[in-house]
Amino acid sequence: MLDYHLHLWPHGERDRAPTLEHLRSYCEHAAAAGVTEIALTEHLFRFRQADHLLRGFWRDDPDAALRDSMAGYWSDHARADLDDYVRCVLAAKDEGLPVVLGLEVDYYRDRMDEVSALLAGYPFDVLLGSVHWLGAWRFDDVRDEVSMAQWSVRDVDAAWADYTTAMEELAATGACDVLAHPDLIKAAGRRPQAPDECWDRLAEAAASSGMAAELSSAGWRKPAQEAYPADPLLARFVDRGVALTTASDAHGLPEVADRSADLAAMLHGLGVETLRAFRSREPHDVSAGALVAGS
């Protein structure tokens, strides 16, 4: 198994200088759960370099409360140094730890060329592409009352459609390698009567872009109470030959490799025999042997 989605710092906590000791403990915890390789994929928005490039992306949102909430959230997060992060993960690789260098990149409409230009200056192995926000609305931030209140005033079908469109646009940019938590829009537990069209479109976005899709245990820790993606969307990915990664989306050591055996069981049930791994943003497959061993 892989854990290809890991953060160093919990939301709501300030970043600390990354250390080799921190990464060693992640690798030990992962290995104990049968995970053979991990990707560090901190949020791009946690870094000052992103602040210079992207601050204010939310300005066009018509909702002042959401704009204020996002401005505060952004300021709380955009403080770490990308160069320090990259140096630390590369040092772990040099030490022989089973680590690859990644980043979780949000979709910034009309600004992905600038994002790609920034990231091209670093030796990333894998870039996750994510949609956590629609305009200034953090639809998955279940701890934020301003964001969650929106679920009472918005149309759920429209929210899912807007999310799906953003994921399609993100995939079409070619800026990233893996569609992270592909149905994150369900995080707060709100689902449309008929999600099939969104599932079809998300599967098509992954297939036509050549991106891999992520199978993540993080949804079990949210009101959604199921893995990302839901079984019918995972089946669509498999049917269309979309490569898969597995992930915990841990934001701290106790969640590293969380429920990897349950993810392995899901894959096994669908006959998935390989997972996708990356080096220098080039894909390669790892065998189902490791997958069965982790189950």
Under the rule (CB under 5 A), what is the footprint of Zn ion?
A: 104, 130, 249
Q: Give least dist CB 5 to Zn ion, A.
A: 5
Q: How far is 59 from 47, CA to CA, in rounded Å?
A: 20
CB 9 within 8 A of CB 15: yes
CB 182 within 8 A of CB 228: yes
Q: Give least dist CB 85 to Zn ion, A.
A: 14
Beta-carbon contacts of 69 under 8 Å, excluding residues fewer than 6 positions away, are: 136, 138, 144, 146, 147
Count CA atoms within 13 Å of residue 255 on its CB side. Answer: 19
Residue number with CB closer to Zn ion (196 or 211): 211
Residue number with CB closer to Zn ion (184 or 266): 184
Q: Give least dist CB 244 to Zn ion, A.
A: 17
User: Is the dihedral angle over the CA atoms 147, 152, 155, 160 positive or is it negative?
Assistant: positive
Q: How far is 145 from 178, CA to CA, in rounded Å?
A: 30
Q: Give least dist CB 132 to Zn ion, A.
A: 6
Residue number with CB closer to Zn ion (225 or 287): 225
Q: Give least dist CB 7 to Zn ion, A.
A: 6
Q: Give least dist CB 288 to Zn ion, A.
A: 25
Residue number with CB closer to Zn ion (144 or 295): 144
Residue number with CB closer to Zn ion (30 or 239): 30
DSSP of 161-209: HHHHHHHHHHHHHT--SEE-STTGGGTTS---S-THHHHHHHHHHHHHH
Q: Give least dist CB 103 to Zn ion, A.
A: 10
Residue 155 φ then ψ, to 5°: -80, 125
Residue number with CB closer to Zn ion (42 or 162): 42
Residue number with CB closer to Zn ion (76 or 155): 76
Beta-carbon contacts of 156 under 8 Å, excluding residues fewer than 6 positions away, are: 190, 191, 192
Instruction: Give how far Cα 63 sits from Cα of 67, 68, 169, Å.
Output: 6, 9, 23
DSSP at 44: G
SS (H, E, C) 110-136: CCHHHHHHHHCCCCCCEEEEECCCECC
